[in-house]
Structure 1
């Protein structure tokens, strides 16, 4: 319930005096009883010690004629029920700011020492972990918002749901003790992880930038130095998300011409992929596309080599290349 405050003390005193005179009440005690309050409370309202509950103000103002009601309604303001506590809290904060700040720092430090989902951020490298990192490089991000740590991967609801729900999420559930949530919207889907440890693993161990990463992300050195199976798994996660398969059906080709592509605005990442594909003897080309670069693996034979080394685990792409496997 809201509270009534008169903007001018004189209007407040006149309001109570006028009510008493208009209804011919001889005492303040009698006026108090007419609205179910004590004389003590009426005096608190009358002298501005307390704001007036809106329902009691309504009972009082109905005792006046219409023209006087309109007059006094222009002389008041309405406040939320807890406005006094809020104001008091602000004053207390202003007077004791240092104490509040010290308390917040202690609480923040205590929170930072613990994490909801505990796991070893230096867990042994595995192909499953590397594919997860590849997905983060492709369509993921991680960031800190105050005391909240969020990691998220996104995809197309119609094209990627089967991969994220039936393949990727079970792998993640096995890797981390995190309650990942899959959110499906009209045109997209998001897989959310709220974990300080995961944020630390991505940013500290694998050096993935927090926040906007598209211009600077790259394959972590730890993975590049770990051996071909781990590199291939990482590339697979990347191609599952930011990569794709295209079938060129122009009349110049007797049969649909297949291409595998990967697009990024990170020149360093494109350079890494280029070097790795060369290392695995996978023929490819690089093309400029607006402010990004696109790697293309063209033709059935070259795509077959790609599938032998790297491949896909996202049904969206697998369904287009299954005739080559």
Structure 2
């Protein structure tokens, strides 16, 4: 069950949140209503219900699906592991995962399935489509932790710091970090070590587009 918990924590780190209510905690996982519908309904929902023995529901709003469940005990447990309530801010990989290398692939899978992407570069400088896998986060701590874990697993990692224009920040832009690795060798390693539980992402991992 630790592997499933690690994957859930990856999902929560990517597209999830915890809210403290007067008598309980609310968990939510928000995904794209089109691209990730099958993943949320057929994988994440059963994963959560099996892992925590809770009832979940899925709501739709503004082009997104939100899987919601409530639990005081689970909220206290997950926050005791170091996961924050409210804004995730400069969230690192929590120690429960970071200190157990066997859990890294499961956490990385959950995080990739929610916050990662793969791009096939089809410029003529390449003899065949060239894969690039990228994670984007506003957390410098998370970026560095991802880099360290991936490098220890054998990947060559680059971090690119960017200023992205946004209306959500007072200064007009937000600082983000892109964690990237490239190439067919690394893609093969990823598919072997980590893979994907998201049908949309899994298809793109295997088929140039």
Alpha-carbon distance in 2 for matches of 1:299, 1:257 = 6
2:82 pairs with one of 162, 187, 207: 207
Q: Which protein is richer in strand relative to its size?
A: 2
SS at match of 1:245: strand
The size of the alignment, in residue pairs, is 197
SS at match of 1:192: strand
Alpha-carbon distance in 1 for matches of 2:101, 2:147 = 17
Alpha-carbon distance in 2 for matches of 1:253, 1:186 = 39
Tell me, yes or no, if structure 1 residue 141 matches structure 2 residue 20.
no
Residue in 2 that maps onto 1:309: 193
SS at match of 1:311: coil
1:216 pairs with one of 80, 84, 90: 90
Alpha-carbon distance in 2 for matches of 1:208, 1:294 = 22
Question: Which one has the largest radius of gyration?
Answer: 1
Residue in 1 that maps onto 2:146: 273
Alpha-carbon distance in 2 for matches of 1:198, 1:278 = 32
Deviation string for 1:24-75 (max 9, x for gaps)?
xxxxxxxxxxxxxxxxxxxxxxxxxxxxxxxxxxxxxxxxxxxxxxxxxxxx
Residue in 1 that maps onto 2:177: 293
1:321 pairs with one of 182, 205, 208: 205
TM-score w.r.t. the length of structure 2 is: 0.88
Q: How does 1:166-245 map to 2 (within 5 A)?
A: 166-204=42-80, 206-213=81-88, 215-228=89-102, 230-245=103-118
Alpha-carbon distance in 1 for matches of 2:61, 2:127 = 40
Q: How does 1:94-173 map to 2 (within 5 A)?
A: 126-173=2-49
Deviation string for 1:222-270 (max 9, x for gaps)?
2222332x12101111111111111223344343221111111111111
Deviation string for 1:75-129 (max 9, x for gaps)?
xxxxxxxxxxxxxxxxxxxxxxxxxxxxxxxxxxxxxxxxxxxxxxxxxx52111
SS at match of 2:34: helix
**Contact kept? 2:24, 2:75, Cα under 8 Å:** no
SS at match of 1:262: strand
Alpha-carbon distance in 2 for matches of 1:186, 1:292 = 24
Q: How does 1:45-64 map to 2 (within 5 A)?
A: none
Deviation at 1:323, TM superposition (A): 4.5
**Contact kept? 1:136, 1:153, Cα under 8 Å:** yes
Residue in 2 that maps onto 1:259: 132
Alpha-carbon distance in 2 for matches of 1:248, 1:254 = 11
Alpha-carbon distance in 2 for matches of 1:292, 1:257 = 24
TM-score w.r.t. the length of structure 1 is: 0.58
**Contact kept? 1:182, 1:192, Cα under 8 Å:** yes
- Per chain length, whose mean CA-contact separation is higher, i.e. which structure has more relative contact order (CA < 8 Å, sep 6+)? 2
